[in-house]
Amino acid sequence: MSVSGTRTEPQTRLSLLERLRQGPVVCAEGYLFECERRGYLQAGAFVPEVVLDHPEVVRQLHRDFVHAGSDVVQAFTYYAHREKLRLIGKLELLEEINRKALEIAREVADETGTLVAGGLSNTNVYADEDDARREVRSMFEEQVRWAAEANVDFIIGETFDYFEEGMIALEVMKEAGIPSVVTFAIHQAEQTRDGVTPEDACRLAAQAGADVVGLNCSRGPRTMLPILERIRPVVEGYLAALPVPYRTTPEQPTFQSLRDPERGEMPFPTALDPFVCTRYEVADFGLRAQELGINYLGLCCGAGPHHVRSLAEALGRRPPASRYSADMSKHAYFGTDSTLKSENQEYASQL
């Protein structure tokens, strides 16, 4: 089955590649965790039913991320695929949830002048078998067809821990003639589940025609950066980095491998709060990634608009939300403004 020929020309605006030629592109992700925190999505299955149940929540989150500095509105179709909807017994909603997510993303992108992206994700059914490959391809084809009909500017294929699954996604996107971003999730073994190193996965995906390649999810800034340092020399084109905003370590390199230091329990996914990166740690990641020559930057599961704003500001941007960036000089106790009461500043040491 082919999905080519279903896409019409989008409205005139700078394309993804044109924007990348001008400088880094910021792409905000993290919809699953943010909607779960707000009480509109269930952790575990993580199916984005919120798109249908509360579209106003998704619409506002898109706007919040753009306000904070995102250049991209990514349709919330992550895990809106056939396998996930089968798991919760709502397969009949498959097309409706995808089309609605794309409609909401297009609406916000048009009102803000940002790029709109479709989205593919790991299917959790891939295996080294012909039947599994055909099933994965079929799942990607239907989502890409709907994205093409929505005139997306590009499609993000992400969180592939199987290299071959990512390549199937890339093939389907190329058949549709739509620009592509392909990112892999690297777990503790520092290779994909089918044994491909991150360097080779990105290099081969770029050679196969992906417009942007890189890593997303699983690893926080501290444990993703060393892998990016190895990837950059072997990939000539645009490189992506979208870590989770958690303090992963060499000993616990993924947010799934983090353990509560007192109780030894796995905090993933609903007790990760003590491990969240500050906005300043996110800014530091942005600076270091830019120095490496990373062109497509963002944050994945767990990111909030304040993280996106800090990332954008680290890249030299001043998004609308920067009007409200912290200015502690005005604080009653810790400020430095000459008009503040001196006795409050003196008392600050006792707070």
Residue 13: the pLDDT is 80
Q: Is the pLDDT of residue 1 over 80?
A: no
The total number of residues shown for the chain amounts to 351
Mean pLDDT (whole number) for 107-119: 98
Secondary structure (3-state) at 84: helix
The full set of domains in the chain, from first to last, is 16-318 (3.20.20.330), 324-351 (no CATH)
Residue 188: the pLDDT is 97
Q: Is the pLDDT of residue 30 over 70?
A: yes
Mean pLDDT (whole number) for 82-99: 98
Q: Is the pLDDT of residue 109 over 50?
A: yes
At residue 190, what are phi and psi to the nearest 5 degrees?
60, 35
pLDDT band at 97 (very low <50, low <70, confident <90, very high): very high
pLDDT per position as a tens digit, 154-193: 999 999 999 999 999 999 999 999 999 999 999 999 999 9
Residue 12: the pLDDT is 61
At residue 213, what are phi and psi to the nearest 5 degrees?
-130, 160
pLDDT per position as a tens digit, 313-327: 999 999 999 999 999
One-letter identity of residue 300: C
**Which of 268, 248, 264, 265 has its CA nearest to residue 256?**
268
- The pair of structure tokens assigned to 149 is 């009909």
Q: Is the pLDDT of residue 8 over 50?
A: no
Evaluated on CA atoms 337, 341, 343, 347, the torsion sign reads negative
Q: Structure pTM?
A: 0.94
Rounded CA-CA distance 164/161 in Å is 9
Secondary structure (3-state) at 265: coil
pLDDT band at 264 (very low <50, low <70, confident <90, very high): confident
Q: Is the pLDDT of residue 147 over 80?
A: yes
Rounded CA-CA distance 177/175 in Å is 5
